[in-house]
Amino acid sequence: MKITTNISTIELYEDGILIVRQKNDIEVTGNDLSESLSIYEKVCAGRKKKVILYIGQHVQFSEDAVKFKALQKQNELFSAQAVVLTDLPQRILLNFYFNKHPSEYARQIFSTEDEARAWLLLQE
């Protein structure tokens, strides 16, 4: 199953891992986040999933996206999240976000999908 939105491609792999690939050069809005959460709900079908998130380059968040409260819903849908990115400024910002907004599921940042997948497979 592969779904494409304004901001990403969402795909559920045979091993049960949900892969989200953000597009490059986009502005994410609150509506985009709401649409993504609705898709995650359908794909997860009541079962928590492990997620690999690829963050696109040159991604900006609108004011309503910054205020959007997605974390609570993600706590219901995700059992672990591995974020793949290589850009140092994005890594610093994401670490800040993770520290400021703790989640109920494990989250970690990686440079490659292989590292991310290996870590996810160790998570409960």
pLDDT > 90: percent of the chain: 54
Whole-number pLDDT of residue 70: 65
DSSP 57: T
CATH number at residue 67: 3.30.750.24
Beta strand 18-22 pairing with 49-54 = parallel
Whole-number pLDDT of residue 65: 81
Domain that holds residue 89: 2-122
The total of structural domains in the chain comes to: 1
Residues 31-90 pLDDT 10s: 998 899 899 999 988 899 999 999 888 888 888 887 776 667 788 889 999 999 988 888
Tokens of 99: 């520290």
- pLDDT at residue 21 greater than cutoff 70: yes
Whole-number pLDDT of residue 67: 73
| pTM: predicted TM-score of the whole model, two decimal places | 0.88
Whole-number pLDDT of residue 5: 94
Residue that has been written with the tokens 């870590």 in this structure: 119
Confidence grade of residue 97 (pLDDT, cut at 50, 70, 90) = confident
110 bridge partner residues? 84
Half-sphere exposure in the Cβ direction for 65 (13 Å, CA) = 15
- pLDDT at residue 94 greater than cutoff 90: no
One-letter amino acid of 113: E
